[in-house]
Amino acid sequence: MRFLALLKKELLQFTRNRGLVILVIYCFTLDVYIAGVGIDLSLKNAKFYAYDMDFSAESRQMVSKLLPPWFAFHGYLLNDSLIDEVLLNDKAIGVVSIPSDFSKDLKKGRARLQLLINGSEALMGYLFSGYAGQVFLDYSLKKAGIKKENFPIAEEKTRVFFNPNMDSKYFMGISELLSVLVMLVFILPAAALVREKEMGNIEMLLISPVQPLEFMIAKVLVMAGIIIVGVTVSVFLIIKGILAVPFRGSFLLFLLFTLVFIFTTSGFGLFIGAAAKNMLQASQLSILILMPTLFLSGSWTPIEAMPAWMQPLTYISPLKYYMDASYGIALKGVGLNFLWPELLGLTVLGLILFVLSIRLLKRVF
């Protein structure tokens, strides 16, 4: 009865906090949708200028090979000081600079040109130089009359599994869902606890016979319920429905992982809530814990690319197991027979973290 009353209270308080309700709805719907359609990891409409000192047929032909929709040619620059200007003002991702003896050299077979890249947009710059390099190579080979087949180059034939078109919405939609989920798992219990503290109600509960653990579990359960509903809506309505990304594996298995993950991580959230005096502190603390968790999960940088000493640390990020499992289920459709190590890791880690947070909580109160 007491526990039910606490559950009811948490749920009522959540529904009455209009700002939070809107945030949660936004996170699970519009945010995932925007990420799915809006964040594209391929080169599109890359603005560039050319600084052509040669201005020969060849040089112009060369520039014209950088075609839409990948490239967008914005014009010729008349002097080299303009190069700086367009790059500094972010008017272009890159500038193709062609020396005056380009066409002559090309006939001799040793033409050179320069690609100036705006590195402040690292990803686009990287893609730009890669794509453009390929285009120039093709052009030079063709100009030299060499057919690729006759030339001793190792050509790769790529076959992409799970996402044959390399469509980034496959990846981005699910990635964003996982990100907002992680954020909410951190923020919701912390917010609920801090709110209680800021308004001073928590004292009333601490003096009453309610056990702190009972009170925390009520909060976590309600938050877990909200997140589960959100995830379900997001997967069926947004990811499968609107983005039309297939969800290959078992949705129930995914929910199981989500639940275990929520319990693992809510310990963090509660701890943040217990340690923080107000919402500002809570947000700062959650960033402090969220950042390493995200970083160590390998969601930003592949784990293999991290320094050797850091790699073992990734095992303490619950997000690592959860991310690996979620991508596995959603994109590859694998089942528990593949994912049991992740589930085991998550559970063990979860137990440790939960016990630790409860201990810390008791000390804070």
Partner 1 sequence: MIVVRQLKKRFKKREAVKDVGFEVKKGEIFGLIGPDGAGKSTVMKIVAGVMSFEDGTVQVLGRDFRKEKETEQAKAKIAFMPQGLGLNLYPTLSVEENIDFFAVLHDLPKDEAKGRKELLLKVTNLTPFRKREAQKLSGGMTQKLGVCCSLIHKPELLILDEPTTGIDPISRRELWRLIVDFVSKEGMAALISTSYMDEAERFSSLALMIDGEFVAQGAPGELKRLCGSVYEIDKDVKEVLPEIKKKFRHVRLKGNTLRFLAAREIEKTFLPVAIERVEPNLEDVFLALKKEEEIEVKAPFTLKGTVREHAVTVERLTKQFDSFVAVSDVSFQINSGEIFGLLGPNGAGKTTLIKMLCGLLIPTSGQFSVAGKRNPQEVKEIIGYMSQRFSLYKDLTILENLELYGNIYKVPAPVLRERISWALETTGLEKAKNEKTDTLPLGLKQRLALMCSVLHNPALIFLDEPTSGVDPIQRKVFWDIIHVLAGEVGVTVLVSTHYMDEAEYCDRLCLMDQGEAIAIGGPSKLKEDAKEKIGHIYQIALDHPFAALDILEKKGLYASFYENGIRMYSLQPISLDDVEELFSPHGLKVFEIKEVFPSIEDVFVHLVTSR
List interacting residues with partner 1 (CB under 8 A): 1-2, 4-6, 8-9, 12-13, 16-17, 199-201, 203-210
204/305 with CB nearer partner 1: 204
Which position has the token pair 């040793």?
110
- Smallest distance, Å, CB 365 to partner 1? 9
Q: Distance between CA atoms of 13 and 343, rounded to whole angstroms?
A: 32
Q: At what angle do helices 279-296 and 168-199 cross, to 10 degrees?
A: 150
199/308 with CB nearer partner 1: 199
- Smallest distance, Å, CB 195 to partner 1? 9
Residues 6+ apart with CB under 8 A from 83: 49, 51, 77, 95, 97, 116
- Smallest distance, Å, CB 185 to partner 1? 22
- Smallest distance, Å, CB 8 to partner 1? 8
210/228 with CB nearer partner 1: 210
2/44 with CB nearer partner 1: 2
- Smallest distance, Å, CB 226 to partner 1? 16
114/201 with CB nearer partner 1: 201
- Smallest distance, Å, CB 191 to partner 1? 13
- Smallest distance, Å, CB 210 to partner 1? 6
- Smallest distance, Å, CB 213 to partner 1? 14
- Smallest distance, Å, CB 193 to partner 1? 14
13/281 with CB nearer partner 1: 13
Other residues' Cβ atoms within 10 Å of the Cβ of residue 175: 20
- Smallest distance, Å, CB 217 to partner 1? 15
21/352 with CB nearer partner 1: 21
User: Cα-flanking dihedrals φ and ψ of residue 233, to 5°?
Assistant: -60, -45
4/78 with CB nearer partner 1: 4
Secondary structure of the chain in the HEC alphabet?
A: CHHHHHHHHHHHHHHHCHHHHHHHHHHHCHHHHHHHHHCCCCCCCEEEEEEECCCCHHHHHHHHCCCCCCEEEEEECCCCHHHHHHHHCCCCCEEEEECCCHHHHHHHCCCCCEEEECCCCHHHHHHHHHHHHHHHHHHHHHHCCCCHHHCCCCCCCCCCCCCCCCCHHHHHHHHHHHHHHHHHHHHHHHHHHHHHHHHCHHHHHHHCCCCHHHHHHHHHHHHHHHHHHHHHHHHHHHHHHHCCCCCCCCHHHHHHHHHHHHHHHHHHHHHHHHHCCCHHHHHHHHHHHHHHHHHHCCCCCCHHHCCCCCHHHHHHCHHHHHHHHHHHHHHHCCCHHHHHHHHHHHHHHHHHHHHHHHHHHHHHC
210/360 with CB nearer partner 1: 210
210/237 with CB nearer partner 1: 210
Which one-letter amino acid corresponds to residue 182?
Answer: V
